[in-house]
Amino acid sequence: MSALSNKPKIVLITGAAKRLGREIALLLAASGYGLALHYRHSAAEAAQTLADCQQAAAAAGHKHGLFAALPADLADENQARALVPQAVAALGQLDAVVNSASIFEEDEAHNFSHAALMAHMATNTAAPVLLAQALHQHVQARADAQAGGACVVNLLDQKLWNLNPDFFSYTLSKAALEAANTMLAMALAPLLRVVGVAPGLTLTAPMLGEEQFKRLHTLSPLGESSRAADIASAVKFALENRALTGTSLLIDGGQHLMRFERDFSKM
């Protein structure tokens, strides 16, 4: 048996300092995973998430201590390419990548620009592809590589199945990432699985007041959209189900079945 096989699975989570990335990290830490926690500017929040992950792991009886916080600007190709090797150097191996980091800036068809699209594509689309490529290269070089044993999970958005014209560049970048899911799943098999997880309206944001968020959160066939714990558990399921690849899980309370003419922040 390889020495690597005695270690817990190690997952790189991008955008792990805050919001959904943090929630995913806490669940995986409590489930025994080792974690490389990526952040861009949120060093203090990343340090707190790392400490909270260590505490969650210890409370669940996991004593491996395989946690690291790694800074990178994913819009910079060199930094994106370096992130997987840095995670391997820090923790000894890597088994999965969860692409949670994303930029979400407002534009529309009337003020669309090349610069706005490229900014979204760099972080939301190109970086996840580069990280999948790097993970595949790492797994190929390992003596214990097994079919379907490594995984990339890409955070998408239910609005891809329920399009509206708002946040034009963001939506294009996520649509490209959803297409990349299928292409990467084909290209990187059998060693690597690629799965999308598409949340509905899950967390409030500065553009949504608390009461507005509560009202919009109920707009789904099930009476409420996704919660952070729902997204985290879906990511964990995707990481662990070795028959799952080239598809996306819509975790949104059925919001994609309803027709919304505008983005939630515009309603």
The yes-or-no verdict on residue 120 having pLDDT over 50 is: yes
- For 91-117, what is the mean pLDDT? 96
What pLDDT does residue 2 have?
Answer: 33
Give the pLDDT confidence of 170-198 residue by residue, as tens digits: 999 999 999 999 999 999 999 999 999 99
Provide CB contacts within 8 A for 82, sequence distance 6+: 72
**pLDDT category, 3, cuts 50, 70, 90?**
very low
Percent of the chain topping pLDDT 70: 97
261 vs 199 pLDDT, higher one: 199
Give the pLDDT confidence of 157-171 residue by residue, as tens digits: 999 999 999 999 999
Provide CB contacts within 8 A for 64, sequence distance 6+: 7, 8, 32, 34, 57
- For 210-234, what is the mean pLDDT? 90
Among 62-76, 154-168, 191-205, where is mean pLDDT lowest? Answer: 191-205
CATH 3.40.50.720 fits 3-266, yes or no: yes
Question: Rounded to an integer, what distance in angstroms lies between the CA atom of residue 183 and that of residue 14?
Answer: 21
**pLDDT category, 254, cuts 50, 70, 90?**
very high
The H-or-E segment that residue 181 falls in is: helix 168-187
What pLDDT does residue 57 have?
Answer: 97
**pLDDT category, 214, cuts 50, 70, 90?**
confident
Return the half-sphere exposure (C-beta side, CA atoms, 13 A cut-off) of residue 48.
Answer: 10
- Three-state DSSP class for residue 126: helix
What pLDDT does residue 6 have?
Answer: 65
Give the pLDDT confidence of 24-62 residue by residue, as tens digits: 999 999 999 999 999 999 999 999 999 999 999 999 999
Percent of the chain topping pLDDT 90: 83
Among residues 124, 71, 129, 131, the alpha carbon closest in space to that of 102 is found at 124
- For 73-82, what is the mean pLDDT? 98
**pLDDT category, 87, cuts 50, 70, 90?**
very high
- For 112-122, what is the mean pLDDT? 97
Q: In the predicted model, what is the mean pLDDT of the chain?
A: 93
The yes-or-no verdict on residue 5 having pLDDT over 70 is: no
- For 255-265, what is the mean pLDDT? 88
